[in-house]
Structure 1
Amino acid sequence: MAGRVFIGVSGWRYTPWRGHFYPKGLAQSRELEYASRQFHTLELNGSFYSLQRPSSYAAWARATPPGFIFAVKGSRYITHMLKLRNIETALANFLASGLFELGDKLGPILWQFAPQMRFHADLFDEFLARLPKTANAAAKIARGRDARVRDRESLVPDRNRRMRHAVEVRHESFVDAAFIRMLRRHGVAWVVADTPNSWPLFEDVTADFVYVRLHGSTELYNSRYSPEEIAYWARCIRAWARGGQPRGARLISKEKPRERASRDVYCYFDNTDKRCAPENARELMARTERDITSC
């Protein structure tokens, strides 16, 4: 049996989508409601730029149907400004800011790093070890929050559910088998990130799930994926969902990942500037569902 496949887009509030992806006249306040019924999942981007409020997370959860999943972007204050140093309070504030309000709609947390951020083994090993693997562990960290989130905090998960983490790196120094081994040791997913830039594009499997970001193959955040490219990513998703690796996968490490009967796959289109993301996501959903059910 294949793992679960979640395909969606990064964010949902884009002016060019109005009257095209979104029906003409749809109220902006209903855009999430509409998008969450077109896709299995969405990346929540606002959490990357600033601490959100529990009331916002709760409203997003209410607006979406049962079984829907949010991937939540980790705070750039942690990844870009502090650069993983002295992050105890910042991580507590992020975890206390409302993630628990998503309940069973909380999917992976995405930690995205700047292209200038290099691989420092000790620093990343310490960071990965800090990431909570359960909601109870996250709640324990969240209690260390400071005044910035007091009186606007969420500290009690509804139950002790598992938490997943994925890391997107953009510097060539991460093309190192030692980093792949580190991710596997901590159960954190390497993000398969497709871009026209010189950022690392590899398909190593490092966790019990796979996380894919499609930023545009010829123009960053802009270009449309062709039918041939959609077919390629559909084949990859089919292989990952069935616990394997795609034929001819681009790999950093020669060591094989732990064998599994299936893996969940999360895939997000981020080629949003010219309205390509929703159409490409729908195309990949249709192709992937056909490929997996036909096996």
Structure 2
Amino acid sequence: MAREGAQSTPGGTMPPTAPRIRVGIGGWNYAPWRGTFFPPGLPHRLELAHASRQLTAIEVNATYYRTLQPATFASWREQTPPGFVFSLKASRFATNRKVLATAAEPIARFVGSGIAELGDKLGPLLWQFMPTKRFDPGDFEAFLQLLPQRVGERPLRHVLDVRHESFACQAYLDLARRYRCTTVYTDAPQFPAIPDAASELAYLRLMRSSADCPTGYRPDAIAAWAQGARAWTAMGPQREVFVYFINGAKERAPAAAAELIRALA
């Protein structure tokens, strides 16, 4: 998947993505990608190294389900090239609860599990809530008050994946902004798309990939996302965009990400 203008690295190429626009997929251990995104016969232990040289970011789902060890995060850091970034989905034990105000212990356990080992490859932390979770201003603010601003010497950025339509209101956006949290913009038929124009960080999860389209999204749709990402970063020097192709026709996600990287180049 080397492209014209790409910068050579020992294990492949670093795509020529604009430095404040990162494009990736969810995870990397997915059997249908073997022989397509991953070269035939590539050992599974080399899949992260390969993926990180075709993309600029990966959203990790494993951290949602279980607590990993510091050595795991350190290994990811060592396997990936300079400039690569991981977004980590935070523990479900923090977000999948009736009363969010009681989440202090699982939040601390997740943040203290060794994520700081990623160093400058630690990207936003994604806090994903159940689709049935409604916006309760008091309880949600109590949750936001529990989110730490740093781990060790590293500042943290928090992204909220709220998936109930009750969050599509100004009261929620004002609350998230007060605690310097960004709201996910979701492109999916089953979840609301909540724009957050005042945030400096845009975090997009694109979930409409079609198996009938080789690149998941049609070329004109990819071009539109590229134009939107460029326009976002043009609005200020601190503005960043993370774009992840998630779910939908997951087998098409790497091709969709590669197509967007080409469009941005």
TM-score, scaled to structure 1: 0.79
What percentage of residue pairs aligned between the two structures are identical?
41
What letter matches 1:236 in structure 2? G
Structure 2 residue aligned with 1:209, among 191, 201, 204?
A: 201
Q: What CA distance in whole angstroms lies between the structure 2 residues aligned with 1:272 and 1:35? A: 19
Identify which of 126, 139, 143 aligns with 1:127.
143
Q: Output aligned runs, 1:90-239, within 5 Å.
A: 90-135=106-151, 157=152, 160-197=153-190, 199-216=191-208, 224-239=216-231
Instruction: Name the residue aligned to 1:65.
Output: 81
Deviations 1:120-154 (A, max 9, x none): 0011112122212222xxxxxxxxxxxxxxxxxxx
Q: Distance in 1 between matches of 2:238 and 2:102?
A: 37
- Which runs of structure 2 are paired with 1:1-80 in the superposition (5 Å)? 4-80=20-96
Scaled by the length of structure 2, the TM-score of the pair is 0.87
CA-to-aligned-CA distance 1:172-228 (integer Å, 9 cap, x gap): 10011011111111111110111122x111322343211111112568xx9921111
In the alignment, the residues of structure 2 paired with residue 77 and residue 44 of structure 1 have an alpha-carbon distance, to the nearest angstrom, of 16
Q: Is 106-115 or 273-282 further displaced after alignment?
A: 273-282
Name the structure 1 match of 2:258: 282
* Separation (CA, whole Å) in 2 of partners of 1:3 and 1:203: 22
In 1, distance between residues paired with 2:233 and 2:173? 20
Task: Name the SS for the 2:184 alignment partner.
Answer: strand
Bigger proportion of residues as strand: 2
Give the equivalent residue in structure 2 for 1:270. 246
State how far apart, in whole Å, the 1-side matches of 2:224 and 2:99 are: 35
- TM-superposed CA distance for 1:9, in Å, is 0.6
Letter in 2 for 1:131: L
How far off its partner does 1:261 sit? 4.1
For 1:71-125, what per-residue CA distance to the aligned partner results, in whole angstroms no more than 9, with x for missing partners?
0001111111465231111111111111011111100000111110000001111
* SS, match of residue 67 in structure 1: coil
* Equivalent AA in structure 1 for residue 260 of structure 2: L
Equivalent AA in structure 2 for residue 53 of structure 1? Q
- Counterpart-to-counterpart distance in 2, 1:193 and 1:269: 10
Once superposed, which parts of structure 1, at least 4 consecutive aligned residues long, lie more than 6 Å away? none
1:45-84 deviations in whole A, cap 9, x for unaligned? 1000111111111111111111110000011111114652
- Report the secondary structure of 2:160's partner residue: strand
Structure 2, gaps ≥5 residues long:
1-17
**What is the number of equivalent residue pairs in this alignment?**
246
Structure 1 unpaired stretches of 5+: 136-156, 244-259, 290-295
Q: How do 1:244-263 residues align onto structure 2 when only pairs under 5 Å count?
A: 260-263=236-239
How far off its partner does 1:239 sit?
1.4
2:204–2:244 Cα contact (<8 Å) kept: yes
- Partner amino acid, structure 2, of 1:56: T
Aligned to 1:254: none
